[in-house]
Amino acid sequence: MQFKRTDVLVIGSGLSGLFASLVLAERGLKVLIVTKEEIDISNSHVAQGGIATVIDLHQDSFQKHIEDTITAGAGLNRRDAVDFFVKRGPETIESLRGLGVHFSTRDDGNLDLGWEGGHTERRVVHAGDITGNELISVLKERVVKDRRITIWQHHTAIDLITTRKFTLAAENRAVGAYVLTQEGAVITVEAGAVLLATGGCGKVYLYTSNPDVATGDGVAIGFRAGVPAVNMEMVQFHPTILYHEKVRSMLLSEALRGEGGILRTRDGRTFMEKYHPMKSLAPRDVTARAIDHELKKRGDDFVLLDMTMLDPDFIVNRFPNLFKKCFDAGIDMRRDPIPVVPAAHYMCGGLQCSPEGTTCVPGLFVAGEVAHTGLHGANRLASNSLLEAAVMARYAAEEIVRWQAAPKDAVGPLPLWNEEGVSDSEENVVVKQNWDEIRHCMWNYVGIVRSDRRLERALKRISLIKQEITEYYWNFKVTRDLLELRNITLVAEIIVRSAMKRKESRGLHYNTDHPQKLADAHDTELSPEELLG
């Protein structure tokens, strides 16, 4: 098969992709989901904390949630976007419950609300400590059963097809994508609309909490299609990833600190009081930077997250999944402090869009972590990620329904993928070498603490690798490894160039040559013309 036609092409199968697909199918549209691995492999699936939502209006309020979000975001947030998402949280929770998602409740039957770093009230709706697993499991079951939804697992999107690129019509719009199969064939997919819901870019860095699929594909694909990238220098490093020689990329939820966990140095001393009045409950940017500073100052490999002062039964009941994983790794949370380090976790920047997911390219929509709506600002407040992903899924789907109903110029037949003149590569070592070098470069030069000189060094090396990859891409048959390398290289360059534009330290971006925060908050916007010509 070289060609496929669908109403809506959804690239990505996290919370946004699956939820939006269900809404679209319910509206009578045929949906094709393309995902690189099994349908339940995503950042959403491994999310532990929950969805930040105002539920208890006697104790909490929308205004408090808005203020906490903007405080955590260091004032770089778009106020209208924060208002949009916060006020639509409760209705979205009810929609998810209506689909069968079971959130944790108290003995009185009301939702159990967790407390996480940066929040001033309990407002995190959760399903134990495996909220993402519960969400994706329920949505997956419904998606698989829906006859209007087709799922292509182990398929990789290469690039979007736009009318301007192929002069198919006077008006530029997205009309499909090229998709690589597991067997190496390329299918031309024609679609009335495309939704990018590909998640984040954690694998751009050497150490990350993200699964291997998080290679920034959506940002790279959307950017090449003409959508600007905004605030991509704002990469959130989660403060608490398990430090263990045999366990890789295990995130330890913000909720551990929210429920009373305390950060200590290896000799047992607390240190967060030196960095923030909320101590171990400080926002993630402050906490990650504090840990990084303590590690470098002391020469240690990790700090400790101490839960031992809490009731042992509470630990087991509140965090059953994390308790078991730690126990299996030889750590009893009831008695042993947990060794932790920061690692790349969440992309607060992304493709420029409205809160409803519309972009400057008609027919192209985005949702979830790949999107920049302005909700997160310079640092994401804990559990606002699943809030954004779920709300955007519903509203982007409604925008797509409206787009589909609007009259549009017809386009000619889409061009099939052309492999003329290319050959199979026998130099896969080139891909692996460049992949490793990009990730080491980003970790060493564009990590938690940056400087002008480090950024310049990073850009020089990334530019050389980009040239090698461009030549490689056009001369050899594409593979998933090559496509992911091409994407992380472009995303790495976008992050570095965005960081070089920001001459201040704000939120997640800390530059030792510009340690002060400017009086006025401004976005860092990078247009495709600046990088791609």
- The tens digit of pLDDT for each residue in 442-482 reads 999 999 999 999 999 999 999 999 998 988 888 888 999 99
Q: Note the CATH number of domain 428-515.
A: 1.20.58.100
Which 8-state DSSP code applies to residue 161? E
Query: For residue 170, what pLDDT is reported?
Result: 66
Query: For residue 169, what pLDDT is reported?
Result: 67
In angstroms, the CA 505 to CA 226 distance is 29
Query: For residue 172, what pLDDT is reported?
Result: 84
Query: For residue 409, what pLDDT is reported?
Result: 84
Among residues 78, 224, 264, 284, the one annotated as catalytic is: 284
Residues in the chain, total: 533
| Residue that wins the pLDDT comparison between 306 and 411 | 306
Q: Note the CATH number of domain 3-233+348-405.
A: 3.50.50.60
Closest to 192 (Cα-Cα) out of 34, 23, 8, 11: 8
Residues 59-79 have a mean pLDDT of: 97
Model confidence pLDDT, tens digit, residues 267-319: 999 999 999 999 999 988 899 999 999 998 898 989 999 999 999 999 999 99
Tell which phi-psi region holds residue 374, choosing left (phi > 0), alpha (psi between -120 and 50) or beta.
left
What lies within 8 Å, CB to CB, of 190 at 6+ separation is 3, 4, 5, 6, 161, 175, 176, 414
In angstroms, the CA 431 to CA 484 distance is 10
pLDDT exceeds 90 at position 250: no
DSSP β-ladder status, 174-180 and 186-196: antiparallel
pLDDT exceeds 80 at position 423: no
In angstroms, the CA 68 to CA 118 distance is 7
> Taking the domains of the chain in order of start, what are their residue ranges?
3-233+348-405, 239-344, 428-515
CATH of 239-344, one of 3.40.50.150, 3.40.50.1000, 3.20.20.120, 3.90.700.10: 3.90.700.10
What lies within 8 Å, CB to CB, of 440 at 6+ separation is 206
Give whole-number Cα distances, 316 to 135, 312, 422, in Å: 22, 6, 56
pLDDT exceeds 90 at position 171: no
Model confidence pLDDT, tens digit, residues 384-405: 999 999 999 999 999 999 999 9
pLDDT exceeds 80 at position 426: no
Confidence of residue 419 (pLDDT cuts 50, 70, 90): confident
pLDDT exceeds 80 at position 64: yes
| Residue 284: active-site member | yes
| Residue that wins the pLDDT comparison between 136 and 418 | 136
In angstroms, the CA 320 to CA 2 distance is 47
Model confidence pLDDT, tens digit, residues 103-115: 999 999 999 999 9
The pair of three-digit structure tokens given for residue 457, joined into one six-digit string: 């060094």
Q: For the packed helices 384-405 and 15-26, what is the interaxial angle rounded to 10 degrees?
A: 30
% of the chain residues with pLDDT over 70: 99
Residues 493-521 have a mean pLDDT of: 97
- 346 bridge partner residues: 236
Gyration radius of the chain over CA positions: 22
**Are 237 and 345 a contacting pair, CB within 8 Å?**
yes
Query: For residue 401, what pLDDT is reported?
Result: 98
Query: For residue 196, what pLDDT is reported?
Result: 98
What is the average pLDDT value for the chain, to the nearest integer?
A: 94
